Structure 1
Amino acid sequence: MTSTPAKPALLTLRGLHKRFGPTHALRGVDLDLVPGEALALIGENGAGKSTLVKTLTGVHQPDEGEIRLDDRAVRFAVAQDAQAAGIVAVHQETVMFEELTAAENIFIGRQPMKGPPWLRVIDWARMNRDAQAALDQVVDRETAGFTSTTLVRELSLAQRHLIEIARALSQQARVVILDEPTAALSQAEIRDFYGIVRGLKAQGVAVLFITHKFDEIMAVCDRYVVLRDGASVGTGRIDEAQEQQLVALMAGREIADIYPPVADRRGPTVLQVHGLSHPTEFADVSFELRRGEILGFYGLVGAGRSEVMLALMGLNPDASGEVRIDGKTIDIRRPGDAIAAGLAYVPEERQRQGGILGFSVRHNISLAGLAGPRSAIGQSLSRGPWLSAEREQGLAARMIERLRIKTASQDTPLSGLSGGNQQKVVIAKWLGLEPRIVILDEPTKGIDVGAKQAVYQLIAEMVEQGLAVILVSSELPEVMHLAHRTIVMRRGRPVAEFAIGEADAETIVAAASGLHLQTESAT
């Protein structure tokens, strides 16, 4: 299916190719960005979306093909050229200066100046004022919980995403690229964000919208283009498209149901948590976890789910409460204590907390085993005091095959992998230790349907092998389809518990939002 824009395009790509050595990342991509419209760029991880965005923003230059802006051929030698042309990107992973304020991050590299030519200084009042105006376009000041003068290190991941969006709006961009912009936002914030996108369209901005959430595509986009293996394989109008059709184009195959069957072979209780509390972040969290069970934790942004998991791993030192494994009380004061007790933690922010981007795939996979625990290959990675390259390579080869990680070699830097494959590497790092309890915090954040399916299958295999899994997710279908039980949190406290199939989506969301709390636990 193809579609022709109803209005002349502001930015067009024709026959775009990009190669990195033997890898042909873009294979003749065509697309049109039209003022006042949002174009959905759809594709699995590794399909070429990130390369395309980097080409549009001047990070990469195409090997073949043409980019035309206002019907004139352009070439962006550096990122500043693209910004000067009015092309701005809001990326999924926030990269910010934590010791600077929100305003300083919004205007980094382009601060307003004042004073005579021989003594130019930053106009702080104007910068703070203009930054606040940009933030006010994104979110209500009271709802945001911060102002333009707040230090970024004091802000949550969701609040940092709001700053990224405000930075793009402050540049009066003609083309705005939104790369997974809602990944860390609550449902209420996502609804507000829809209004922001519609406002951009009303101002005549051309929007390129990249997301793995089909409800977002259907809500705000006008047209779509699907990439597969670096090539355009389908375009059309959103109002004429169906989700299954788009999924089939993305994957090159039909995906009737991405959730695998999860066996219910729950065994004895392995983890008991009682009265886990923190002075400011959560209170009175108690639950049990059984062998071969998936326990879901659901809640809106700020519910305290991740903070509880950090406490279980010894990363939240002010937390107190009782943790028992196999009936024995465990004193977890640092991550090493948790790892020694058989816990593993895959964090939400894989690029900041889960892996080291500059390290190779092999080194990332072996990272957690360097202290000496036995690995999935059944032996220590060390020979005496030295790391065994042979054993490390063996572990990496096994995990790459088991998790079907797409990488040119074990020596490829983690930064060279797609988001979905980065996540698989982070999971592989922990599975190599043969843990008994695995905590997965937003394990499918920012990855596509095909990669999600692979992660879901991996979770099913974990419990089939007798592991106990805690699944923290803001994707309600994930916990509803995969978790044997789901605990709902709100404002740092558990407020409801549901067995699989016991509650519909509306009931669970109502509990998480405080509209109607179900306080009786499932039996």
Structure 2
Amino acid sequence: MENKTLLQMRGIDKHFGATHALKGIDLTLERGEVLGLIGENGAGKSTIIKILSGAYGMDAGEILIDGVPVNIGNPRASQALGISTIYQELTLFPDLNAVDNILAGREICRDGTGSSLISPLDRQRMRKEARQILTEELGIDIDLTVPVRQLSLAEKQLVEIARSLHSQAQIIIMDEPTEALESQERERLFAITDRMRLSGRAVIYVSHLLDELVKVCDKVMVMRDGANVATQPVSEVSVETIISKMIGRDLGQKYADKTPPSGEVILRANRLGVNGRFDDVSFELQKGEILGFAGLDGAGKQDVVRAIYGVVPFNMGDISVDGKSLTAGSISGAKAAGVGLMPADRKTEGLFLDKSLEWNITIAESTKSRSSSLRLSDLKASAGAYMRSMSIRARSVDQSVGDLSGGNQQKAMLARWLQTKPKVLVLEEPTRGVDIKSKAEIYRQVVDAAAAGTSFIVVSADSPELLGLCHRILVMHSGRVAAELDASTTDAETIAYYSVQTTGEHR
């Protein structure tokens, strides 16, 4: 009879120098179960994932699969044991198509040709197997011929999942699987997770979105400071109890009270457009206003805000900041006008991971003030002040920012721009991959800076975040603004309604 308990981790300990990352962790995963793993950044979730994936070894404890002790010495051993990890930063080969990515390392050669590197591949059978997994197991249809770099983020994630299923993995670890997905795409992923559960596979589901965890998972394991503080069925917990167990106390108010904007227009976009991306986008941004941009992936919201910063050159319309026109495609011109951009992907676009916390916080200000009398000691003191005021957890400002947790990295990136005192700061997915406590801190910093006169444009796939943080929300659909909504009087359903159509009034 098949063992119902698929995975057991017993007394797992892990140190990194003086840091005790895991403290006697016990974890049990049953077949057909979805286990939610939750905790603040730095609580130990990533260390558990990396031990199971073979990236880290453990200092003490044991791991059993189907009741048999196993040694996960490297990623290949992890895969051979039926464990597959889908990371937040996807690991696809961007220039290969979906078929080649799904069957990577398990390519099918033509009969009688062996399996060497020079053996001809049976492309027809490979395409058939990939299509079977995508359509029969996942219930989706995507283009199998184009490089995956041309697919949407949601489609790329589905290719990752299909690769895991093709590997016959029985334990699938999903790390923040919906952080960058829109509501419809999230629902599709939830349905796929249900299919995996029904097939007898087990899923470890890591997410900072607590409502989502309660909805998707059978059981929740809460971590704090490297220890497992609770493991309970979702029927016995609430979002509030999970938060209190995560941080050891009640969180209090998540969104700070906003100050009304001044009424003074700081930025104007007039009939802005980029061929093939968005068209006829006009709006005004007031001093001290927090303006949200919503819409499905590909609707144009990210292109609009990147046009403001000069990353995407616009060829229609105009943008002015404080009455002065911006030059299309000029990042230096946007920065000189007082515009900043905090990108969604902090690891590849936002941070210098091999540099110190101090360097990352002060680089924008030190570059801006290169010709002034600003001293290095002043920059170090300023970095220390931001580290304290934003509750950035680090040994010192000299610690490498790459060693910090996601939430602390995000706060460091925000501190960099707040230090320059910008007129307009664009935030792309400002709390992606950030724990609940760090989210509240980021929201407070944004609201405080807005009250002091900085204007913000916030792009987010998280409708509750836009509703709680912003004064107004512009919803985009098919490259145009479909609706302008007052955040204090609208709801997530209305945002979703206008995200899928451009005409008609939601009732």
Q: Name which of structure 1's ranges 107-116 and 54-63 shifts more when overlaid on structure 2.
A: 107-116
> 1-side partners of 2:341 and 2:78: how far apart?
39
What is the aligned partner in structure 2 of residue 98 from structure 1?
A: 94
Q: Which SS does the other structure have where 1:284 is aligned?
A: strand
> 1-side partners of 2:405 and 2:21: how far apart?
12
What is the aligned partner in structure 2 of residue 425 from structure 1?
A: 412
Measured after TM superposition, the shift of residue 389 of structure 1 is 5.1
Q: For residues 517 and 23 of structure 1, do their structure 2 counterparts lie closer, same or farther at Cα, with a shift above 3 Å needed?
A: farther
Measured after TM superposition, the shift of residue 519 of structure 1 is 9.2
What is the aligned partner in structure 2 of residue 138 from structure 1?
A: 138
What is the aligned partner in structure 2 of residue 148 from structure 1?
A: 144
Question: Which of 380, 384, 389 matches 1:397?
Answer: 384
What is the aligned partner in structure 2 of residue 442 from structure 1?
A: 429
Q: What's the TM-score, normalizing by structure 2?
A: 0.93
Structure 2 counterparts to residues 39-438 of structure 1, below 5 A: 39-114=35-110, 115-116=113-114, 120-136=119-135, 137-138=137-138, 140-141=140-141, 144=142, 147-369=143-365, 372-374=367-369, 380=370, 390-438=377-425
Measured after TM superposition, the shift of residue 442 of structure 1 is 0.8
The one-letter code matched in structure 2 to 1:343 is V
Q: Name which of structure 1's ranges 259-268 and 60-69 shifts more when overlaid on structure 2.
A: 259-268
Q: For residues 358 and 201 of structure 1, do their structure 2 counterparts lie closer, same or farther at Cα, with a shift above 3 Å needed?
A: same
Q: For residues 337 and 218 of structure 1, do their structure 2 counterparts lie closer, same or farther at Cα, with a shift above 3 Å needed?
A: same
> 2-side partners of 1:159 and 1:451: how far apart?
29
Measured after TM superposition, the shift of residue 256 of structure 1 is 3.8
Q: For residues 18 and 382 of structure 1, do their structure 2 counterparts lie closer, same or farther at Cα, with a shift above 3 Å needed?
A: farther
Q: For residues 139 and 299 of structure 1, do their structure 2 counterparts lie closer, same or farther at Cα, with a shift above 3 Å needed?
A: farther
Q: Which SS does the other structure have where 2:63 is aligned?
A: strand
How many residue pairs end up in the alignment? 501
Q: For residues 238 and 133 of structure 1, do their structure 2 counterparts lie closer, same or farther at Cα, with a shift above 3 Å needed?
A: same
Measured after TM superposition, the shift of residue 139 of structure 1 is 5.0
Q: For residues 330 and 120 of structure 1, do their structure 2 counterparts lie closer, same or farther at Cα, with a shift above 3 Å needed?
A: closer
Q: For residues 148 and 63 of structure 1, do their structure 2 counterparts lie closer, same or farther at Cα, with a shift above 3 Å needed?
A: same
> 2-side partners of 1:134 and 1:10: how far apart?
23
The unaligned stretches of length 5 or more in structure 1 are: 1-6, 375-379
Measured after TM superposition, the shift of residue 403 of structure 1 is 2.1
Measured after TM superposition, the shift of residue 420 of structure 1 is 1.1
What is the aligned partner in structure 2 of residue 29 from structure 1?
A: 25
What is the aligned partner in structure 1 of residue 493 from structure 2?
A: 506
The one-letter code matched in structure 1 to 2:166 is S
Measured after TM superposition, the shift of residue 381 of structure 1 is 8.3
Measured after TM superposition, the shift of residue 409 of structure 1 is 3.2
Measured after TM superposition, the shift of residue 123 of structure 1 is 3.5
The answer as to whether partners of 1:16 and 1:29 remain within 8 angstroms in 2 is: yes
Q: Deviations over 1:262-296 (max 9, x none)?
A: 11142411101111111111111111011111111
Q: Which SS does the other structure have where 1:82 is aligned?
A: helix
The answer as to whether partners of 2:310 and 2:329 remain within 8 angstroms in 1 is: yes
The one-letter code matched in structure 1 to 2:24 is G
Q: Name which of structure 1's ranges 127-136 and 158-167 shifts more when overlaid on structure 2.
A: 127-136
Q: Deviations over 1:102-135 (max 9, x none)?
A: 2233333333334136753444333333333333
Measured after TM superposition, the shift of residue 329 of structure 1 is 2.0
Q: For residues 149 and 357 of structure 1, do their structure 2 counterparts lie closer, same or farther at Cα, with a shift above 3 Å needed?
A: farther
Q: Deviations over 1:137-171 (max 9, x none)?
A: 43521xx4xx2221122233233222222221221
Q: For residues 366 and 132 of structure 1, do their structure 2 counterparts lie closer, same or farther at Cα, with a shift above 3 Å needed?
A: farther
What is the aligned partner in structure 2 of residue 4 from structure 1?
A: none
Q: Which SS does the other structure have where 2:5 is aligned?
A: coil
> 2-side partners of 1:336 and 1:135: how far apart?
44
Q: For residues 121 and 403 of structure 1, do their structure 2 counterparts lie closer, same or farther at Cα, with a shift above 3 Å needed?
A: farther
The answer as to whether partners of 1:311 and 1:319 remain within 8 angstroms in 2 is: no
Instruction: Give runs of ≥4 in structure 1 deviating > 4 Å.
Output: 381-384
The answer as to whether partners of 2:109 and 2:115 remain within 8 angstroms in 1 is: no
> 2-side partners of 1:487 and 1:464: how far apart?
21
The answer as to whether partners of 2:152 and 2:297 remain within 8 angstroms in 1 is: no
Measured after TM superposition, the shift of residue 383 of structure 1 is 7.3
Q: Which SS does the other structure have where 2:93 is aligned?
A: coil
Cα RMSD over matched residues? 2.2
Question: Which of 466, 473, 478 matches 2:465?
Answer: 478
Q: Which SS does the other structure have where 1:53 is aligned?
A: helix
Q: Which SS does the other structure have where 1:28 is aligned?
A: strand
Q: Name which of structure 1's ranges 275-284 and 346-355 shifts more when overlaid on structure 2.
A: 346-355
Is 1:493 aligned to 2:480, yes or no? yes
Q: Which SS does the other structure have where 1:280 is aligned?
A: coil
Measured after TM superposition, the shift of residue 49 of structure 1 is 0.5
Measured after TM superposition, the shift of residue 516 of structure 1 is 6.5
Q: Which SS does the other structure have where 1:113 is aligned?
A: coil
> 1-side partners of 2:74 and 2:16: how far apart?
18
Q: Deviations over 1:460-519 (max 9, x none)?
A: 111121100111111111111221111111111111112232223322221222287449
Q: Deviations over 1:334-359 (max 9, x none)?
A: 21111111000111122222123333
The unaligned stretches of length 5 or more in structure 2 are: none
Q: Which SS does the other structure have where 1:303 is aligned?
A: coil
Q: Name which of structure 1's ranges 112-121 and 506-515 shifts more when overlaid on structure 2.
A: 112-121
Measured after TM superposition, the shift of residue 189 of structure 1 is 1.6
